[in-house]
């Protein structure tokens, strides 16, 4: 099935705790060009203005740092993505940090408000924090909660400022729809670095996480079949690929929060290829490449590009 692919570039790194994820999309472009690919010139491209200059100022929102700028970026991204999807487009999204994914998912839901949206979240992290639970205040640890409209007050350990709370409410309500996704419709893959409030939330809602050992034991194909089975009631599937889902000792440390013992690139590639082939899949996003942190020159971006090249081929079939 041929799709109307559309590239989005969203270089926001306002949600990350280390600097450099805004250079991730460009690092992937460099990898593509060194691979003699003209992919980035072959499709329509929408680039969303980032507000990364906010990083040069103090933030008045300690429990959700720079959430004001993040809201502005995600709100616009959601509108642009919604417009492309409404016209039948398939967004291939290259973003800075993972907070952007909440805007992408919002845009998909805005385009199809009556459809049930499933999420495959391939990541080392659960990204299930909220301003009420976060130890760091970094919003890239919160996008799944944003789209679930989840505060996790059961595990509250912070008292967010009124301003933080106000923007958190706005973030959850982008497009005037909340929640965008049900807890049962989020499937995690490779999540292995979580905090207690996230663990408790996952347990409370019996959210499934395919840990690396389970993926290796069952094989990618069977895990994929199970994921589809679990998302059987969903009309559409969004796929979020955080490169830190992969093993940092195997690939590189070119990502903001590298974690050992992750997926091998070949496993990730196989899973993304299968998901790209599925007709319910409506968007794939790639996040958290950080070339500033890469001890092997541009290895993380090259690995991400190799995986992208492969699933893009499936999308074009
Ligand atoms: Mn993430």
In SS3 terms, 40-96 reads as HHHCCEEEECCCHHHHHCCCCCCCCCCHHHHHHHHHHHHHHHHHHHHCCEEEEEEEC
Residue 1 has pLDDT above 60, yes or no: no
d(CA 32, CA 40): 8
pLDDT tens for each residue of 13-57? 999 999 999 999 999 999 999 999 999 999 999 999 999 999 999
**Ligand 1 center from residue 313 Cα (angstroms):** 25
pLDDT the model gives residue 51: 98
Q: What's the structural domain count of the chain?
A: 1
As a whole number, mean pLDDT of residues 140-160 equals 98
Q: 128: CA distance to ligand 1 center in Å? A: 9
Give the integer Cα–Cα distance in Å for 56 and 314.
41
Residue 207 alpha carbon to ligand 1 centre in Å: 16
The three-class DSSP label of residue 12 is: coil
Ligand 1 centroid to 246 CA: how many Å?
12
Question: Which pLDDT score is estimated for 317?
Answer: 83
Confidence at residue 2, expressed as pLDDT on a 0 to 100 scale: 60
pLDDT digits (tens, 9 = 90+) for 166-182: 999 999 999 999 999 99
d(CA 299, ligand 1 centre) in Å: 19
55-93: pLDDT as tens digits: 999 999 999 999 999 999 999 999 999 999 999 999 999
Question: CA 263 → CA 125, 156, 227, 287, distances in Å?
Answer: 13, 32, 17, 16
Q: List the CATH number of the domain containing 169.
A: 3.40.800.10
Q: What is the mean pLDDT of the chain?
A: 97
pLDDT average, residue stretch 120-142: 98
Ligand 1 center–CA 136 separation, angstroms = 14
Mean pLDDT, rounded, for 276-287: 98
Q: How far is the CA of 257 from the centre of ligand 1 (A)?
A: 9
Measured in whole angstroms, the distance separating CA 228 from the mean position of its chain's CA atoms is 19
CA of 317 to the centre of ligand 1 (A): 29
pLDDT, one tens digit per residue, over 238-280 is 999 999 999 999 999 999 999 999 999 999 999 999 999 999 9
C-alpha 195 to ligand 1 mean position (Å): 13
State which residues form the domain around 114: 4-316
> 186-214 pLDDT, tens per residue?
999 999 999 999 999 999 999 999 999 99
Q: 143 is written with which tokens?
A: 């996008």
CA distances from 313 to 104, 199, 260, 307, 308 (A): 22, 36, 29, 10, 8
């Amino acid at each position: 099935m041929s799709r109307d692919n559309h590239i989005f570039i969203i270089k926001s790194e306002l949600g990350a705790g280390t600097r450099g994820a805004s250079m991730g999309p460009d690092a992937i472009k460099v990898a593509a060009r060194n691979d003699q690919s003209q992919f980035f010139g072959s499709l329509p491209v929408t680039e969303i203005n980032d507000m990364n200059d906010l990083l040069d100022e103090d933030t008045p929102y300690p429990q959700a740092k720079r959430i004001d700028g993040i809201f502005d970026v995600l709100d616009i991204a959601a509108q642009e993505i919604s417009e492309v999807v409404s016209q039948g487009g398939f967004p291939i999204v290259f973003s800075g940090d993972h907070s952007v994914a909440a805007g992408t998912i919002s845009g998909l839901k805005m385009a199809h408000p009556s459809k049930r949206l499933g999420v495959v979240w391939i990541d080392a992290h659960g990204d299930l924090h909220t301003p009420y639970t976060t130890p760091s205040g970094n919003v890239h640890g919160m996008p799944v909660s944003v789209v679930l409209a989840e505060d996790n007050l059961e595990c509250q350990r912070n008292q967010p400022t009124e301003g933080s709370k106000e923007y958190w409410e706005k973030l959850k309500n982008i497009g005037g729809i909340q929640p965008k996704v049900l807890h049962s419709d989020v499937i995690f893959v490779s999540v292995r670095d979580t905090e207690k409030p996230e663990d408790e939330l996952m347990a409370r809602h019996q959210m499934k996480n395919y840990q690396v050992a389970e993926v290796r034991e069952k094989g990618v194909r069977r895990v994929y079949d199970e994921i589809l089975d679990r998302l059987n009631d969903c009309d559409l599937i969004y796929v979020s690929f955080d490169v830190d889902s992969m093993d940092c000792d195997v690939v590189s440390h070119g990502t903001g929060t590298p974690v050992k013992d992750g997926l091998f690139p070949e496993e990730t590639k196989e899973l993304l290829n299968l998901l790209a082939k599925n007709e319910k899949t409506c968007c794939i996003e790639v996040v958290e490449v950080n070339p500033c942190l890469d001890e092997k020159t541009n290895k993380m971006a090259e690995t991400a590009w190799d995986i992208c090249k492969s699933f893009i081929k499936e999308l074009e079939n």
